Structure 1
Amino acid sequence: MSSQPVELKKKPISFSNILLGAGLNMCEVTTLGQPLEVVKTTMAANRQFTFFQAINHIWSRGGVFGFYQGLIPWAWIEASTKGAVLLFVSAEAEYHFKKLGLNNFGAGIMGGVSGGVAQAYLTMGFCTCMKTVEITKHKSAAAGAKQSSWAAFKEIYNKEGIRGINKGVNAVAIRQMTNWGSRFGFSRLVEEGLRKFTGKTNPDDKLTALEKIFASAIGGGLSAWNQPIEVIRVEMQSKTNDPNRPKDLTVGKAFRYIYQSNGVKGLYRGVTPRIGLGIWQTVFMVGCGDIAREFVGKLTGETPVAKH
């Protein structure tokens, strides 16, 4: 008897998965995520700052609230939408890459890469741009001179249009593409090493929560190798006063300017808080994921199954 080929099916996308992803991302960024993002961006925009100088600078811009610049509305918009974009696009892309003959590992990476690029161009481009504007714009001492987030958005849009509020979007796309590809790959390599070390060689053997956190945290930390593209992204979106900055920055121009001004070290400014951010995201998502999954399952009657 001739065996029938296994029918290839797309992973189903459910409302509960999207709700879980949005909720976890919103909580993650509102707790420690945004403060680490602000420190990372401040160091990348002001490359002469040490870590503690960046902390002092942020504190001087508003105390504790200085660490939450750009949270509302931009970080919340980004957090509540990027998960859905990633799920829809990565599932669709993974399905088509499997149809082309890629195995699960390769199709998974390419699905993640495709989802990351879609995130950048659909939601994260203008959100990261406006977050960076909030973090790096000059704060006037005059009492009535404070510019709201929406006023800053309108001013940039009126002057430069869609391109103005999406400055650095190509750098964001490269960052997201390499982020998802490398995080996925590094995490899987660490998981395989843990399975060999603990004797869990059967695919049905599940890793403990601590083992998952460890593997994903290592993956998140190692994915910071692409910090130069993050520094380039910040430089392209920054409102820090810099008379030497070239006009009409592209990714290439920004790279040359940063390298000529600060050398290789400048391209890795902010890498420490970024590693911390990657680890925090992992710990939060894995640590709170099971609790949130159970809650969302009761709320919607549909248990979420996807990882976020």
Structure 2
Amino acid sequence: MGVTVAPTTVQGGPVAKKKVNFANLGVGAVMNMFEVTTLGQPFEVIKTHLAANRQDNMATAFKKIYQRGGIMGFYQGLIPWAWIEASTKGAVLIFAASEIEYLALTSGISPFAAGLLGGMGGGLAQAYTTMGFCTFMKTVEITRHKAVGTGAQQSTFAVAADIFKREGIRGINKGVNAVALRQCTNWGSRLGLSRLAEESIHKIRGTDHSKPLNAWEKIAASAIGGGLSIWNQPIEVIRVEMQSQLKTAGRPEKMNIANCARWIWQTNGLKGFYRGSVPRFGLGMWQTICMVAGGDALKKYVSERYGK
């Protein structure tokens, strides 16, 4: 989840600070909305179902999700929570990551390390400003019990109000620390690995940064960076379990990262921490392709069409 950060280095020259403008913020929001409304939310729903229902396999997950609401079952939590999240978190990532990357570069560290720090800082900023509540409510929508074939279902806003009444602001931000850890490692590795992949492509074809990668090369680099970022799947499973509304005998009432990890280990062993890896692999690739390769292309179009 996020957007590409424009480079803050000038080949052969001093570090130049990249201004954050409304056009770039709009690009981030548009690309995030596109990503989540197309393949993003179905991948998210399948991934979350498998992480919360760790006894299910992929076929069972598809069957249960379809039974809950047909094709629209794969878009649970899209409106309004995923849309609210998508339309805000891109702007936060752009601002935070570009500022951190600029400061890191001026301190003299390498562009790769600066990008890594920028991605990590941007991910943390996302989690604690816009994502905590929205991610929690998306998980609630996917994991809460929904009776099939009844019109007497509690609305998503009523669920949020009920949780706030019972548990206060902490209740509707449950698992935010796990979200922050996930986003920090997500975008640190996505941006870093995508840059490494781009460097590798440049070396293979014997060129430098003066000759930009073409569209397919950018897509390939983004897919590699996004796909390999699933190394932190255990953090995602812990986040889902902390926010899940499933009721299981023996499950700790008040979960933190430590006792949640212990519960997953006790009930599912090591493999429990990797449930949902396959759909998350697809999600990571799709998000990074949209937000890195797609974001670059859209920014270039906006710049050429409307001026800098």
TM-score, structure 1 normalization: 0.91
Query: Does 2:182 align with 1:159?
Result: no
Deviation at 1:142, TM superposition (A): 6.8
1:100-140 deviation digits (Å, cap 9, x = unpaired): 33232222211111110010010111111000000000012
Change beyond 3 A, Cα 1:146–1:295: farther
Question: Is residue 2:51 matched to residue 1:44?
Answer: yes
The correspondence of residues 162-177 of structure 1 with structure 2, limited to 5 A, is 162-177=169-184
The alpha-carbon deviation at position 93 of structure 1 amounts to: 1.6
Kindly report which structure 2 residues correspond to 1:66-81, keeping only aligned pairs within 5 A, or say none: 66-81=73-88
Contact 1:133 1:239 in 2 (8 A): yes
Note closer, same or farther for the CA distance 1:273–1:141 as it changes in structure 2 (3 Å cut).
closer
In structure 1, C-alpha distance between the alignment counterparts of 2:102 and 2:199, rounded to whole Å: 24
Establish whether residue 280 from structure 1 lines up as the match of residue 297 from structure 2.
Answer: no
Q: Structure 1 residues 103 and 291, CA, compared in 2 at 3 Å: closer, same or farther? A: closer
Cα distance change of structure 1 residues 122 and 290 upon mapping to structure 2, 3 Å threshold: closer
The verdict on how the C-alpha distance between 1:158 and 1:302 changes in structure 2, with shifts beyond 3 A counting, is farther
1:284 Cα deviation from its structure 2 partner: 3.3
Q: Secondary structure at the match of 1:12?
A: coil
Instruction: After TM superposition, give the deviation of residue 83 of structure 1 in Å.
Output: 0.6
Distance 1:198 1:142 in 2: 58
RMSD between aligned residues: 1.9
Q: Distance in 1 between matches of 2:255 and 2:242?
A: 6
Does the Cα contact within 8 Å between 1:209 and 1:286 map onto a contact in 2? no
Q: Which of these residues, 1, 7, 11, is aligned with residue 18 of structure 2?
A: 11
The 5-angstrom pairing of residues 124-163 of structure 1 reads 124-141=131-148, 143-163=150-170
Structure 1 gap segments, 5+ residues each? 1-5, 304-308
Alignment-derived partner of residue 232 in structure 2: 226
Instruction: Give, as a single letter, the amino acid of the residue that structure 1 aligns with 2:103.
Output: H
- Three-state SS of the structure 2 residue aligned to 1:61 is helix
* Residue-by-residue CA offset, 1:216-265 (whole Å, 9 max, x unaligned): 11111111000000000000000012122112111111111101111111
Match of 1:3 in 2: none
2:90 pairs with one of 66, 83, 87: 83
The alignment-based identity, stated in percent, is 58
Q: Write the distance in 2 (CA, Å) between the matches of 1:174 and 1:64.
A: 32
The structure-2 alpha-carbon separation of the partners of 1:168 and 1:284, relative to structure 1 and needing over 3 Å to count, comes to same
**Residue of structure 1 in register with 2:7 after alignment:** none
**3-state secondary structure, aligned to 1:40:** helix
Amino acid at match of 1:147: Q
- Offset at 1:172? 0.5
Residue 119 of structure 2 is aligned to residue 119 of structure 1: no
Task: Tell me which residue corresponds to 1:306.
Answer: none
Match of 1:261 in 2: 267
Q: Secondary structure at the match of 1:135?
A: helix
SS across alignment from 1:265: helix
- The code of the aligned residue for 1:154 comes to A
- Shift of the 109–289 alpha-carbon distance from structure 1 to 2, 3 Å rule, reads closer
Instruction: Report if aligned partners of 2:46, 2:279 keep a CA contact under 8 Å in 1.
Output: yes
Q: Distance in 1 between matches of 2:295 and 2:108?
A: 32
Q: For 1:135, give the aligned amino acid.
A: I
Q: Which amino acid aligns with 2:205?
A: T
Partners of 1:256 and 1:150 lie apart in 2 by 32
* Mapped pair 1:204 → 2:218: no
Asked whether the 8 Å contact 2:218–2:293 carries over to 1, the reply is no
Q: 2: distance between equivalents of 1:298 and 1:185?
A: 28
Classify 1:84/1:230 alpha carbon distance in 2 versus 1 (closer, same or farther; 3 Å).
same
Partners of 1:183 and 1:28 in 2: how far apart?
Answer: 16
- Distance (whole Å) between structure 1 residues aligned to residue 265 and residue 85 of structure 2: 30
- Give the superposition deviation at 1:183: 1.2
- Partners of 2:24 and 2:282 lie apart in 1 by 26
CA-to-aligned-CA distance 1:76-119 (integer Å, 9 cap, x gap): 01100001111111122222223433232222211111110010
Rounded to whole Å, the distance in 2 between the matches of 1:294 and 1:221 is 25
Q: Does the CA-based 8 Å contact 1:19-1:296 persist in structure 2?
A: no
Q: Which position in structure 1 is the counterpart of 2:223?
A: 217
TM-score (norm 2): 0.91
- For the residues of structure 2 that align with 1:292 and 1:197, how far apart are their CA atoms? 27
Q: Secondary structure at the match of 2:269?
A: helix
> Stretches of 4+ moved more than 6 A in 1?
none
Which position in structure 1 is the counterpart of 2:202?
195
- Is this contact kept in 1: 2:136–2:243, CA < 8 A? yes
